[in-house]
Homo-oligomer: A and B are copies of this chain.
Amino acid sequence: MNIAWDDLRTVLMLVRHQTLAGAGAALSINYTTVARRIRRVETGLGHLLFERSADGYRPTEAARIVASHAENMETSEFDLRRKLQGINPELSGCLTITAPQLLISHFLAPVLDQFDRAFPQIELRILATNDILDLTRLEADLAIRISRNPGDMLKGLRLLKQENASFAAPGMAAQIQSDPKAMIDWIVYDAIPNVPQGIDPTYPNNRVRFRFDDMVAMLGAAQAGLGVVRVPMFLGRAVAGLVEVPVLPPQPYSDVWVVGHPDVWPSEKARAFREVLIAYCKQHRANFTS
């Protein structure tokens, strides 16, 4: 008569992943165990939940109903874990931060060092990705993001105003300076596949030479002298082998924010990290604008 809640979670995972192995991996258990739990919950509820086939378990209508309620339970679990994280007074344990790779590698790395020295009991976990992680699902405790506002229902603090500008390898920079009317090759980001707006009329001839989907590769190409890139000012300045070129005058760009879920935001560990982070940003804010 009594149904195990963990079995409901197993159903949810199987509905999501369609295969025993996939669900097992998501739960960090063997797929055989998934199969056993499914059989158990099926007999317990008195409903067939999946049609077994050679290419996986196909959920029945009943399974979808189970899954949707298990999803509510999962939401409650995340709510709970965030709340507990928020009231945790310890300055020890794990703290997960996410930020764009390039922001970490070319600017934030010293913050990590400082924080680790100041709070050696806290194990810092860094997720360096351009993906927008789901802070509601506790994929990270705090996120450092480049955007116009915190977004969603998140709490946020603006760390830095920033501008972007045009950069190129020194050789190319010299060539542009010596012949402003010559054709200027641009390396642009896939998402905005045109020559930037607002180019100084001194340089009338511009074209897109390459479109990239990855900023790291773009910087490499620019370093190799393949063209001019528009990047945030801190980044162009921080990358060796690039110099600013006056083709594109500095323009306002999305700001740098630290954001977090309201539940997690007040936690001691998050507060401690923000303190170190804010101090560091204040100290180096000149890097971000002209």
A residues in contact (CB < 8 Å) with B: 2-6, 8-9, 27-28, 45-47, 61-62, 65-66, 69-70, 72-73, 76-77, 79-81, 83-84, 87-88, 90, 93
Contact = CB atoms under 8 A, between A and B. Distances in A.
A165 B84 CA distance: 61
Contacts of A70: 76, 80
A80 B61 contact: no
28 contacts: A2-B28, A3-B77, A4-B6, A5-B5, A5-B6, A5-B8, A5-B9, A5-B73, A45-B81, A46-B93, A47-B88, A62-B84, A65-B80, A65-B87, A66-B80, A66-B84, A69-B76, A69-B80, A69-B83, A70-B76, A70-B80, A72-B72, A72-B73, A72-B76, A72-B79, A73-B73, A73-B76, A73-B77
A28, A65, A72, A80 interface centre (most CB from chain B within 10 Å): A80
A47 B8 CA distance: 25
Contacts of A83: 65, 69
A77 B83 CA distance: 22
A70 B72 CA distance: 11
As for how many copies of this chain the complex holds, the number is: 2
Given A2-B28, A87-B65, A80 B8 contact: yes
